Amino acid sequence: MSLHFLQPETLADALTLLGRDPDSSKLIAGGTAVVLILQHKLIAPETLISLSRIPGLNTIRLADDGLHLGPLALLHEVAASALVREHYPALACASEEVGNVRIRNQATLGGNLAEADYASDPPAMLLALNASVVAATAERARTIPLSEFFLGFYTTALEADEIITEVLVPPPPPRPRMAYLKYKSRSSEDRPCLGVAAVANFADGVCTDLRVAVGAACETPRRLPEIEALGMGQPLADELIDEIAEGYARGIETLDDLRGSAWYRTQMIRVHVRRALKEVRDGRR
Ligand SMILES: Cc1cc2nc3c(=O)[nH]c(=O)nc-3n(C[C@H](O)[C@H](O)[C@H](O)COP(=O)(O)OP(=O)(O)OC[C@H]3O[C@@H](n4cnc5c(N)ncnc54)[C@H](O)[C@@H]3O)c2cc1C
C-alpha cells in the first residue's frame, strides 16, 4: 500500500487532516524518530502528516504566565535561545545534551515529548519545571501537566487526533537555581543512562521550593514529592542531601538495558541526585 505524504500549511488544516483518520495517520515533525520506526516497519500508517510547513510553531517567547515553546522549536533552538539560557539555564543544558549537533538541528521539542522514549533528556527537566503541554484537536484544546503526560514506554496521554501546539513552563523564580545532570555510560553522544533535574528556591539560606525529577531510570520520568518535601523549610545541609538522594535511590524501581543494569542505575541515582542538589544549593548553575 502506498504512503501518502501531506504537508498542510496551517495548523487548522493539519488538525482537520489528522481528525479525518487519526488511527491510520502519523504526524511527523523533524522525523528523527518517525523515519527510524518506519524503516524498521514498526508502524504502517497510510498517511504521514508533516508539521514542518506550518509557520509560527517554532517560536520561543516569555510572557507573564511563563515560557511558551512552540512544538517545532528545534532542540538546538531551545539550547541556544537567549531567553531560555537566561531564565531556565538548565533547560538549555538538557536540550544541549541531546545526541549530537545533527540531531539537535533536526529534532523538535514536541517530537521529543510525544515520542516518550524513556531514555530522553528534556522530559525530566521539563517535569521538574512543572511544565505542561497544550494538546489540540480540530474542536478543542486542553492543557496536560507533564506529571500526567507520560504514561509508560512510548505512551503518552495524547489522543490519536491531538497535536501538541505549545509547551508551557511556569514563570522562572527570580534567581533561578536549577541543574540538569546527564550521565552517559557508553559514548559522549549517547542517550542518557540517567538524567537528574533539580529546581530549587531559597530564602535566607532555607529551601522554600524543591523539585527533583529523574529521567531514563524507568518507564517515565519520576518525581517523588514525599522525598522532595524533606528539603522544604530546611537549609540543604550535606546530611539532608544524602537523605534525599537515598530516598530517590530507594524510591525508584529502575530498569535494565544496554546502558546499565537496574542495580547500577540505582547507584547512579544516589550519586547524581546528590550532585544536582549540591549544584543548586551552592548556586553553581
Ligand atoms: C541518533 C539519535 C540520538 C538521540 N539522542 C538523544 C538524546 O541523547 N536525548 C534525547 O532526549 N533524545 C535523543 N534522541 C531522540 C530525539 O531527541 C527525538 O527523536 C526527537 O526529539 C524527536 O523529535 P522529531 O521532531 O524528530 O520527532 P518525529 O520523529 O517527527 O516524531 C516523533 C513522534 O512525535 C510525534 N509528534 C511529533 N510532533 C508532534 C506534535 N507537535 N504533536 C503530537 N505528536 C507529535 C510523531 O507522530 C511521532 O510519534 C536521539 C535520536 C537519535 C536519532
Please list the residue range(s) of the chain that carry CATH number 3.30.465.10. Answer: 60-169
CA distance 44 to 50: 16
Range list for CATH 3.30.43.10 in the chain: 4-50
Burial class (CB in 10 A: 0-12, 13-18, 19+), 172: buried
pLDDT of residue 3: 92
Q: 224: CA distance to ligand 1 center in Å?
A: 26
Output the residue whose Cα is nearest ligand 1's atom 4.
Answer: 99
Residue 1 reports pLDDT greater than 80: no
Calculate Rg over the CA atoms of the chain.
19
**Which protein residue's CA is at the shortest distance from atom 3 of ligand 1?**
99
C-alpha cell of residue 271: 550519586
Indicate the average pLDDT of the chain: 96
- Which residues of the chain does CATH 3.30.390.50 include? 177-282
Looking at the structure, give the CATH architecture of the domain made up of residues 177-282: 2-Layer Sandwich (3.30)
Helices (H) and strands (E) in the chain, counts: 11, 14
Tens of pLDDT, residue by residue over 150-182, are: 999 999 999 999 999 999 999 987 777 999 999
CA of 47 relative to ligand 1 center, distance in Å: 18
Ligand 1 residue neighbourhood (C-beta within 6 Å): 26-34, 51, 71, 98-99, 103, 107-108, 110-112, 114-115, 120-122, 158, 163-164, 191
In the prediction, which pLDDT does 153 show? Answer: 97
Find the mean pLDDT for residues 182-188: 94
Query: From the CB of residue 237, how many other CB atoms can be counted at a distance below 10 Å?
Result: 10
Ligand 1 midpoint to CA 139 (Å) = 26
105 alpha carbon to ligand 1 midpoint, in Å?
A: 12
Q: What is the architecture, at CATH level 2, of domain 4-50?
A: 2-Layer Sandwich (3.30)
Query: Phi and psi dihedrals of 86, rounded to 5?
Result: -75, -45
Which residue CA neighbors atom 12 of ligand 1 most closely? 120
The CATH class that applies to domain 60-169 reads alpha beta
SS3 135: strand
> For residue range 92-113, what is the model confidence (pLDDT) as tens digits?
999 999 999 999 999 999 999 9
What does DSSP say about strands 222-223 and 163-169: parallel, antiparallel, or unpaired? unpaired
Pocket test for ligand 1, best of 96, 109, 120 (most atoms within 8 A of CB): 120
pLDDT > 70? residue 285: no
Residue 111 sits at φ, ψ, to 5 deg, of: -65, -40
Res 71: pLDDT: 98
Q: Is pLDDT above 80 for 284?
A: no
Q: Tell me the C-alpha to C-alpha distance, in Å, between residue 200 and each of 31, 40, 88, 95.
A: 35, 42, 12, 20
* Distance, CA of 49 to CA of 207 (rounded, Å): 46
pTM of the model: 0.97
Q: How far apart are CA 218 and CA 260, in angstroms?
A: 12
| Each residue's pLDDT tens digit, 198-255 | 999 999 999 999 999 999 999 999 999 999 999 999 999 999 999 999 999 999 999 9
